[in-house]
Amino acid sequence: MSAIPRQLADLIDSCSGYWKGSMHHILNNRGRLCLIVLVCSLMSVPATADEQARADKPAAAGKYPAFGLTEPQATLKHGAKVYETYCAGCHGPKGDGQGPAARFLDPKPRDFRTGQFRFSSRPSGELPTDEDLMRTIKEGLHGTSMPAWNLLPEQDRKAVIEHLKTFAPEVWSNAAPAAVTVVAEDPFYGLDRSEAIARGEKAYHGLAQCYSCHPVYVAPAALNEARASYGMPPLASVRPDPRRSKSTTNESGDALLPPDFTWNKLKRGEDLRELYLTVANGIGGAAMPTWKGILSEEDLWGMAYYIQDLASRRPKLVTENDLKDRSHMIEAAEAERLAYEKAESERQKAEAEAARTAQENAQPAVTVPATA
Ligand code: HEC
Ligand code: HEC
């Protein structure tokens, strides 16, 4: 109980029975639900069109003209409002990742003051493009508490991106950002996927040595074979438990476990192009190196296919059998509904019929006057 801020606790206490118990459970153990409660409690009515139009008029220079951030004041003002409403609960009013919900969250919300971002179309260590941020905000980060803000109007998302930059103006004012990584044409497009997957498996366990952080997915002999195909000497052993990732720390010194692709969700999703970009660019703040220009395009694309294949082996929460069971249940429920409707319409018909007969019987018999 003491782990939950008062405001939240009051909110939960206002819920009844089951919800109250389970919310405390979830909050204390996973910290997940607090985001929903917090986000809901933080939501307020967005700026009206009128307010927006008024604010857009004077296109005065932005908050940090000295840093070259010259977004119109109105956009920044609107962005600040969007941020306060939807993002500050986790990322903190000051952008330091220390919002009231942050203590319950793992991984922690990004500290925007550092200017460090993970998911980008530029090499790791460089700033993401506005489009990259747009995608992250729209789609969220899978398997983390960062929600998908796809229902937020586009102009709100654009404005909030400009607001994020004001937390690290020195970083964002860099006039010459690095070029975006060119996504080469997929050499395996339209071919048998197994060829790409085999290529990726070899590169992953060979030259790229992804297993130095992520798990090894092949037997020791196959690992050394993959190494030999790149002219690398055999390894006697990798680490005591090579089937598990090797724990590392992020830029803030918090523990960060590289994902096991057959188990963990991928934050950026499983789209081949995004996987290509992750492998080619590496991940800033996570020490994952950049491979573009070092590995061949076949190897980069092959690894995207390979990771996607590993991810497809992740245990599914809903199995084929569950689906079969569910379809039986749906069929049974439908049959029940039809039977009920039929019985009900028959009952109504019988009732109407009974009412009609009763009315007929109640009417006094028409007496024909007797003729004299
Ligand atoms: C419920 C908590 C929560 C809310 C609300 C939230 N975020 Fe996040 N956000 C996170 C977490 C946690 C991460 C870090 C995930 C990670 O490192 O794996 C994150 C990461 C990010 C990143 C970094 C992406 C990268 O490439 O490194 C951006 C940008 C971001 N959030 C923007 C926003 C914006 C904009 C809003 C409001 C519209 C918002 N977030 C609201 C939890 C939240
Ligand atoms: C120095 C350690 C290290 C090496 C080497 C490394 N990674 Fe990673 N990788 C990480 C860490 C740490 C993360 C988790 C980052 C996070 O979630 O914030 C990660 C995450 C990933 C992700 C998931 C991104 C997402 O959307 O969640 C993919 C895919 C990935 N790595 C592929 C690879 C491939 C392929 C290689 C080899 C070319 C590789 N990594 C080499 C440390 C490493």
Indicate the CATH number of 45-172 among 1.20.1560.10, 3.40.50.720, 1.10.760.10, 1.20.120.80: 1.10.760.10
Cα–Cα distance between 14 and 209 in angstroms, integer?
53
Instruction: Tell me whether residue 341 is exposed, middle or buried, using C-beta atoms within 10 angstroms of its C-beta: 0 to 12, 13 to 18, 19 or more.
Output: exposed
C-beta of residue 110 within 8 angstroms of C-beta of residue 97: yes
Q: Which of 213, 264, 281, 291 to mutate to test the pocket of ligand 2 (most atoms within 8 A of CB)?
A: 213
The CA 214 to ligand 2 mean position distance, Å, reads: 7
The closest of 71, 143, 139, 79 to 112, measured between CA atoms, is 79
Q: Is 144 in the pocket of ligand 1 (CB under 6 A)?
A: yes
Task: Name the 3-class secondary structure at 288.
Answer: strand
Task: Determine if ligand 1 sits within 6 Å of the CB of residue 89.
Answer: yes
| 258: its two tokens | 């590289």
Model confidence pLDDT, tens digit, residues 113-171: 999 999 999 999 899 999 999 999 999 999 999 999 999 999 999 999 999 999 999 99
Q: Are 182 and 277 in contact (CB under 8 A)?
A: no
pLDDT for res 27: 42
Residue type, 102: A
Q: Is the CB of 117 under 6 A from ligand 1?
A: yes
pTM for the model: 0.75
Q: Give the Cα separation of 9 and 1 in Å (integer).
A: 8
37 Cβ contact partners less than 8 Å away, ≥ 6 residues apart: 8, 11, 12, 23
Q: Alpha helices of 166-270 — where are they, by DSSP H?
A: 169-172, 193-205, 220-228
Cα gap 146→143, rounded to integer Å? 8
Collect the ranges in the chain with pLDDT lower than 50: 1-5, 7-61, 66
Q: Which residue from 110, 99, 294, 312 is spatially nearest to 209, judged by alpha carbons?
A: 294
Residue with tokens 């992953």: 204
276 lines ligand 1 (CB under 6 A): no
DSSP code, position 64: B
How is residue 4 written in tokens?
Answer: 């939950």
Q: How many angstroms is it from 35 CA to the middle of ligand 2? A: 26
Ligand 1 binding pocket includes 109 (Cβ within 6 Å): yes
Q: Could you tell me the distance, in angstroms and rounded to a whole number, from the CA of residue 46 to the centre of ligand 1? A: 20
Angle of CA points 73, 128, 250, to nearest 5°: 115
45-172 and 193-311 have identical folds: yes
pLDDT at 362: 84
35 CB under 6 A from ligand 1?
yes
Identify any residues that bridge with 64 across adjacent strands, giving them in sequence order. 69
Interval between CA 146 and ligand 1 midpoint (Å): 5
As to burial, measured by CB atoms within 10 angstroms (0-12 exposed, 13-18 middle, 19+ buried), residue 129 is middle
119 CB less than 6 Å from ligand 1?
yes
For ligand 1, whether the C-beta of 146 sits within 6 Å is yes
- Round the CA-based radius of gyration of the chain to a whole number and report it: 31
- Distance separating alpha carbons of residues 247 and 86, to the nearest angstrom: 32
How many C-beta neighbours within 10 Å does residue 304 have? 25
Domain extent listing, the chain: 45-172, 193-311
Rounded distance from Cα 288 to ligand 2 centre (Å): 6
* pLDDT in the model for residue 60: 39
Counting ligands in written order, the one closest to the CA of 304 is 2
Q: List all residues whose CB is within 6 A of at least one atom of ligand 2.
A: 118, 204, 208, 210, 212-214, 248, 256, 258-259, 266-268, 275, 278-279, 283, 286-289, 291, 303, 307
Please state, as a whole number, how many other Cβ atoms lie within 10 Å of the Cβ of residue 233. 7
Taking the C-alpha atoms of residue 109 and residue 119, their distance in angstroms, rounded to an integer, is 14
- The preferred substitution site among 135, 211, 288, 292 for testing ligand 2, maximizing ligand atoms within 8 Å of CB, is 288
Distance 167 CA to ligand 1 centre (A): 14
Homologous superfamily assigned to 193-311: Cytochrome c-like domain (1.10.760.10)
Q: How would you write 270-287 as a 3-class SS string?
A: CCHHHHHHHHHHCECCCC
Q: What is the pLDDT of residue 365?
A: 60
Q: What is the pLDDT of residue 33?
A: 41
Q: Could you identify the residue written with the tokens 């983390």?
A: 144
